[in-house]
């Protein structure tokens, strides 16, 4: 389990190291780095893990919790931004220039959130690590430890002093605790996967809308983009639920 976590963490650093290259190269690098989580988890499961990882189509009730948990996580992320402003703590990420400089790359990442990022990370951290930890400790403790491990590869790319890193780390830790609770509640990995993907995609959408407004200085452009996103989200929700 430790080797699976280590491999995934090392591969997750690669996108930061190769920042500034072409869109195609960055896309491939992101896919491969996230795939490292899934591959490491898959190897562990098939060699040492005896429990089945359940992945099923979520029920309407489960999908409702996906939406609720996503809103809670977005609220926490917004609160961190407000707290940073109020306290004067400067926060930043090593990939900030990448995320704000190319709206196309951000759009690609929004798609990858559902297709690669969320499935790979949830498979390893919730499906493998958290479930393995529940064998040797109580469920709340297992969720907490898995959440701390989840923070490590994310915090590697944070900028600033210790206060900034701790403040930024609240977001992935809270995210992991909520996702871990969802997994333990329903024993269905698709629930935290969807919540994780929806959360990431919404954050990326916010970045895209801001970039579109700055580029065109026309509020109708981000409004139309936002409307299209919501329509797609509602359609996806309907199809998934029924």
**pLDDT value at position 110?**
80
Q: How many helices (H) and strands (E) does the chain have?
A: 12, 2
Distance of CA 140 to CAs 123, 125, 172, 180, Å?
Answer: 19, 15, 17, 9
**pLDDT value at position 116?**
86
DSSP assignment, residue 21?
S
3-state secondary structure of 127: helix
Distance of CA 192 to CAs 56, 119, 137, 186, Å?
Answer: 12, 9, 21, 10
User: For residue 149, what is the enclosing H or E element?
Assistant: helix 139-155
Which tens digits make up the pLDDT trace of 174-188?
999 999 999 999 999
**pLDDT value at position 111?**
83
**pLDDT value at position 62?**
93
**pLDDT value at position 238?**
46
Per the structure block, which two tokens stand in for 210? 């801001």
Low-confidence ranges of the chain (pLDDT < 50): 220-222, 224-226, 231-232, 235-242
Q: CA-CA distance, 104 to 197, in Å (whole number)?
A: 18
**pLDDT value at position 13?**
54
């Amino acid at each position: 389990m430790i080797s699976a976590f280590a491999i995934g963490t090392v591969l997750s650093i690669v996108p930061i190291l190769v920042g500034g290259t072409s869109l195609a190269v960055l896309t491939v690098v992101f896919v491969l780095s996230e795939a490292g989580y899934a591959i490491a988890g898959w190897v562990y499961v098939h060699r040492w893990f005896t429990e089945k990882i359940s992945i099923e189509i979520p029920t309407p009730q489960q999908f409702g919790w996906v939406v609720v948990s996503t809103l809670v996580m977005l609220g926490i992320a917004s609160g961190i931004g407000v707290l940073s402003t109020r306290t004067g703590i400067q926060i930043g990420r090593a990939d900030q220039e990448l995320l704000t400089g190319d709206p196309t790359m951000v759009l690609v990442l929004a798609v990858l959130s559902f297709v690669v990022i969320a499935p790979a990370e949830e498979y390893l951290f919730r499906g493998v690590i958290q479930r393995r930890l529940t064998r040797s400790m109580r469920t709340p403790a297992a969720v907490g430890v898995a959440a701390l491990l989840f923070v490590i590869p994310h915090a590697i790319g944070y900028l600033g002093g210790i206060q900034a890193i701790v403040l930024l780390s609240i977001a992935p830790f809270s995210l992991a605790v909520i996702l871990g609770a969802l997994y333990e509640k329903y024993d269905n990995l698709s629930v935290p996967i969807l919540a994780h993907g929806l959360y990431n995609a919404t954050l990326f959408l916010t970045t895209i809308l801001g970039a579109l407004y700055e580029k065109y200085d026309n509020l109708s452009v981000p409004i139309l983009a936002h409307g299209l996103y919501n329509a797609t989200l509602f359609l996806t929700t309907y199809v998934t639920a029924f």
